[in-house]
Homo-oligomer: A and B are copies of this chain.
Amino acid sequence: MVRMRAFEDQSVRAFRSGLAGGYLHVYTGMEATAIGWLSSRQPDDPIITAYRDHAHALYLGIDPVVCMAEIMGRAKGTSKGKGGSMHLYSADHHFYGGWGIVGGHTALGAGLGFAIKYKGGNQVAHCFLGDGAANAGVFFEVMNMASLWDLPVIFIIENNEFAMGTRLEFHAADPEMHKRAEGFNMHHERIDGMDVIDVRRDAQRIISNVRETSRPALIEVMNYRYAGHGAADNDQTLYRSQQEVELAWKRDPVHRLANLLTEQYGVNKQILEKIQREAEEEMEGVYDEAAASPKPEPDEVYSDVYTDMQPERGH
């Protein structure tokens, strides 16, 4: 979690310094969800998420330098610099992205589950989405099909209470979004997402159930985003009070884990501080290394449009 957070600090720094552009969304405050959940996966389970994807990519083991290089649009990035912050991918790590169209990737997520079932594999597909994304029509279509066809896919709503500047209660007729699976005869529940141990425990139970039954599930994980929606979101008072954010910080999953470790497991505070410091240093190094790496060659613009040909060239 501290590595993730340190990474996000550096990715924001990249944005501020002009080394990254476009839309950049950090995961700060939500770490317990991705870590707790993904720590419970099977290594070859396919994972897919939206644009708030740095944490998932890191946790799956993609080299942070390669991630940061992508965020900076460099040739050594996960997508050779063509994807950017929102579009990290790694076939080697079974990480299927990194998507920008809210809700759109949930269909791909169901497709991953479809392929598993078709091939007779024992993986489970994990599809993360936001609370805002759970209003997209396609998501309902694929919940129906996932249940109808017994696809081994779990839809994990990372409910951070906001869709950009729109608060949950202004976008969802029923703020208990997991209930949306009710009409599809699909398992659904809401769990807490601020305690990494709790998330891990719940995830293990849920995932093994899906793996056994090949019945899909919709899980709503309640967390909170401390940062603005994206790096360019510079007036959060438009949609929430300073107070509310401060209150939410009291539930900080990093502190929570730190407290647990020091109080229940007697871990020395200095060890934690050292971890923290090392994480920060590591990610500063990551920043520097990515920043020093080369930009894509101009001719790259035409490659990877197709697997076997180039598009018509020129203006």
Contacts and interface: CB of A to CB of B under 8 A. Distances in A.
Interface of A: 135-141, 143-148, 170-174, 176-177, 179-186
Given A137-B137, A179-B182, A182-B182, 18 more contacts: A135-B141, A135-B144, A136-B137, A137-B140, A139-B140, A140-B140, A144-B172, A144-B173, A147-B173, A147-B174, A148-B170, A148-B173, A174-B183, A174-B184, A174-B185, A176-B183, A180-B184, A182-B183
A77 B277 CA distance: 78
A200 B278 CA distance: 72
Contacts of A144: 135, 172-173
Contact of A183 (B146, B148, B180, B185): B180
A174 B145 CA distance: 11
Contacts of A185: 173-174
16 contacts: A135-B144, A144-B172, A144-B173, A146-B173, A147-B173, A148-B170, A148-B171, A148-B172, A148-B173, A173-B184, A173-B186, A174-B183, A176-B183, A181-B183, A182-B182, A183-B183
- Chain A binding site: helix, strand, loop or mixed by DSSP? helix
Nearest to A182: B182
A261 to B, nearest CB: 38
A108 to B, nearest CB: 15
Nearest to A169: B148
Contacts of A174: 147, 183-185
Contact of A177 (B140, B173, B176, B183): B183
Nearest to A107: B137
A71 to B, nearest CB: 32
A181 to B, nearest CB: 7
Nearest to A173: B147
Nearest to A186: B173
A135 to B, nearest CB: 6
Contact of A136 (B141, B170, B171, B172): B141
Contacts of A145: 173
